[in-house]
Amino acid sequence: MVILEAISKNFFLYLSNNKLLDRFAKRFGSNFGADKIVGGETFSQAIPLIQQLNYEGLVVTVDHLGEFVDSEEESRDRAGECIRCIQQIASNQLQSEVSLKLTSLGLDISHELVMENMELILKEAQKYNVTITIDMEDSSRCGATLEIYKELKKDYPNLGTVVQSYLYRSNEDLDDLNDYQPYLRLVKGAYKESGKVAFPEKKLVDDNLKHLIKKNLLNGNYTAIASHDDAIIDYTKQLVKEHNIPKERFEFQMLYGMRNQLQKDLLQEGYTVRVYLPYGEDWYGYFMRRLAERPANIAFALKGVFSK
């Protein structure tokens, strides 16, 4: 079973990087069950979903899906989409933040381009008091992403980023970020990484996530615990109780469509729960990474294929 899971994980992570399949998926639409975990192809389609989630008491972070951006023009279009999204969050009074990926804004093209795009987005976000979180991508981009985060955080306090517990470097990164009073989302990590940079064993990744959660909370920084894992959630609940950490200092985050009952239970217990809601035409890479994480997701994905 463990071997089977490892094979399917590697298989889906491999597929997540396949540009040909990405193009195919875009062309033929989200006929593969992606609509269960993606909020629609446009932000307008996602608005009623966000309103419903807010009505239930859940807060949201939206992410305009997009990877493999390799032209300046496309990166500027992506920045424009983020800005329109911020404006619509404000005009519809949605309880929502925005998550984004630096590669979609030109990280792989030039530092100037990504900074220019980020400044435009953050100025608009500041105007409407919308928080922006920079998602963390694969380890080759981690250093550059954190440098950009630190550079921008000085001028834009409503800026968060992500630290992944599977990376060896993350403990030091947390120390380094501490001076910036960071808003951090702590996760296990979703990309295929080598043993040179990441813990190969799940137990070590889980232990390190607990360690990072404790450290960031005790440092007094706002912490988003982004996991569907009962063990991590129970650990956090116990920790905040022991150290009298108020509920305003942290939140739980889960992906849209995952563990809906648990989201409601946490809400009932008085915790803040934020749902990560992706939208856009570029759902393919995101969808494949979710399949890699949890082969059980394959069941509803296939159901999606056959029910259309």
Ligand X SMILES: Cc1cc2nc3c(=O)[nH]c(=O)nc-3n(C[C@H](O)[C@H](O)[C@H](O)COP(=O)(O)OP(=O)(O)OC[C@H]3O[C@@H](n4cnc5c(N)ncnc54)[C@H](O)[C@@H]3O)c2cc1C
- Residues in contact with ligand X by CB under 6 A are 135-136, 162, 164, 185, 187-191, 226-229, 232, 253-255, 258-259, 276, 293-294
Q: At what angle do helices 111-128 and 142-153 cross, to 10 degrees?
A: 50
Nearer to ligand X, 67 or 293 (CB): 293
Q: What is the DSSP letter of 60?
A: E
N residues, the chain: 308
Minimum Å gap between C-beta 104 and ligand X is 13
Known binding residue 40? Answer is no
Contacts of residue 216, defined as CB under 8 A and 6 or more positions apart, other chains included, come to 174, 184, 186, 223
Nearer to ligand X, 89 or 277 (CB): 277
Minimum Å gap between C-beta 123 and ligand X is 23
Query: Which residue type does 6 have?
Result: A
Nearer to ligand X, 103 or 253 (CB): 253
Known binding residue 136? Answer is yes
* 242-267 as b/e: b if 16+ CB within 10 A: eeebeeeebbbbbbbbbbeeebeebb
Known binding residue 190? Answer is yes
CB atoms within 10 A of CB 233: 19
Minimum Å gap between C-beta 244 and ligand X is 25
Which of these is catalytic: 22, 63, 108, 135? 135
Which of these is catalytic: 63, 185, 206, 274? 185
Ramachandran assignment for 241, one of left (phi > 0), alpha (psi -120 to 50 degrees), beta (any other): alpha
Cross-strand bridge partners of residue 251: 224
Contact at 8 Å (CB) between 98 and 86?
Answer: yes
Cross-strand bridge partners of residue 132: 98, 159
Contacts of residue 32, defined as CB under 8 A and 6 or more positions apart, other chains included, come to 25, 287, 301, 304, 305
Nearer to ligand X, 6 or 29 (CB): 6
Minimum Å gap between C-beta 116 and ligand X is 22
Contact at 8 Å (CB) between 223 and 184?
Answer: yes
Nearer to ligand X, 86 or 289 (CB): 289
Nearer to ligand X, 144 or 255 (CB): 255
Q: What is the DSSP letter of 224?
A: E
Known binding residue 228? Answer is yes
Instruction: Specify whether 141 is catalytic.
Output: no
Known binding residue 164? Answer is yes
Closest CA to 222 of 150, 125, 133, 305: 133
Minimum Å gap between C-beta 284 and ligand X is 16
Minimum Å gap between C-beta 138 and ligand X is 8
Closest CA to 180 of 160, 154, 159: 154
Known binding residue 202? Answer is yes
Instruction: Specify whether 265 is catalytic.
Output: no
Binding site as annotated, residues for substrate: 101, 289-290
Binding site as annotated, residues: 101, 136, 164, 188-190, 202, 227-228, 289-290
Binding site as annotated, residues for FAD: 136, 164, 188-190, 202, 227-228
* Residues catalogued as catalytic: 135, 185
